[in-house]
């Protein structure tokens, strides 16, 4: 085999590595300077994203003909469903309840990320999505880890409130192993990851659009 999935992902992750100034919202939270209304927007917008991605991952599982790929996306869908319970606890700690969620007007630029994920669920080769997601997981986990620490330090949130963020603060080792196996198998049959690289870059861009729009009230 000319390449391995691990070598491929290492290269993609280097290309997508976070840089200082990329994520205004997380950096403001880390510095203790995030406005309370931005934190509440985060909770509301994240709830919409998790609900949407849950359905998108189920759709990708349904479109996956290979059992291991189907299992990968079912695992992601299960994680989104479980995450919603923890997100509700975090939201409450940030002053957001069910009435607030119902009254919240979604921010279009924040919702570009789940809209693109839904597009992938309908149109993309599932293996390309596996690669694109795996390539982004470390950066995303870093953001959640930073948020968990900063919300404890600057806002006094406890472990129960931060459990949602803690659960996302490191890539899931089982999903990583499953994904690498999927990609190694596809590489052995001639799969070319060019489209996966494009998807990974778009996911990275739309994810940053989500975070940065939280502190732009006209977004």
Cβ neighbours of residue 48 under 8 Å, at least 6 residues apart?
Answer: 106, 110, 111, 114
Average of pLDDT values for 70-95?
97
pLDDT score for 2: 53
pLDDT score for 174: 93
Residue 151 to residues 28, 33, 212, Cα–Cα distance (Å) = 11, 11, 18
Give the confidence band of 139 by pLDDT, cuts at 50, 70, 90: very high
Q: Two tokens at 169?
A: 């603060």
Give the confidence band of 219 by pLDDT, cuts at 50, 70, 90: low
Average of pLDDT values for 1-20?
90
Residue 162 to residues 85, 150, 201, 216, Cα–Cα distance (Å) = 12, 10, 29, 24
pLDDT score for 62: 98
Q: Two tokens at 13?
A: 């992750």
Task: Count other C-beta atoms under 10 Å from residue 89's C-beta.
Answer: 16
Residue 74's closest CA among 143, 126, 140?
Answer: 126
Cα–Cα distance, 66 to 103 (Å, whole number)? 41
Q: Over the stretch 48-71, which tens digit does the pLDDT of each residue have?
A: 999 999 999 999 999 999 999 999
**Higher model confidence: residue 2 or residue 182?**
182
Give the confidence band of 109 by pLDDT, cuts at 50, 70, 90: very high
What percent of the chain shows pLDDT beyond 70? 98
Give the confidence band of 74 by pLDDT, cuts at 50, 70, 90: very high
pLDDT score for 42: 98
Average of pLDDT values for 198-212?
98
**Does residue 148 contact residue 165 with C-beta atoms inside 8 Å?**
yes
Give the confidence band of 1 by pLDDT, cuts at 50, 70, 90: very low
pLDDT score for 80: 97
pLDDT score for 217: 64
């Amino acid at each position: 085999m000319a390449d391995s999935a691990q070598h491929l992902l290492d290269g993609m992750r280097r290309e997508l590595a976070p840089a200082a100034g990329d994520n205004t919202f997380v950096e403001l939270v880390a510095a203790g300077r995030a406005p309370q209304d931005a934190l509440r927007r985060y909770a509301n917008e994240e709830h919409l994203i998790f609900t949407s991605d849950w359905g998108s991952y189920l759709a990708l599982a349904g479109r996956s003909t290979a059992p291991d790929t189907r299992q990968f996306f079912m695992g992601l869908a299960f994680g989104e469903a479980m995450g919603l319970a923890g997100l509700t606890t975090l939201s409450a700690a940030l002053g957001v309840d069910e009435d607030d969620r119902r009254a919240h007007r979604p921010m279009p630029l924040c919702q570009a990320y789940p809209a693109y994920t839904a597009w992938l669920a309908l149109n993309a080769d599932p293996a390309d999505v596996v690669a694109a997601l795996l390539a982004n997981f470390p950066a995303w986990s870093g953001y959640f880890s930073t948020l968990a620490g900063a919300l404890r330090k600057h806002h006094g949130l406890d472990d129960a409130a931060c459990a949602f963020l803690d659960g996302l603060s490191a890539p899931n080792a089982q999903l990583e192993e499953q994904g690498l196996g999927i990609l190694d198998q596809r590489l052995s049959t001639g799969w070319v990851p060019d489209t996966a690289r494009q998807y990974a870059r778009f996911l990275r861009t739309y994810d940053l659009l989500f975070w940065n729009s939280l502190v732009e009230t006209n977004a």
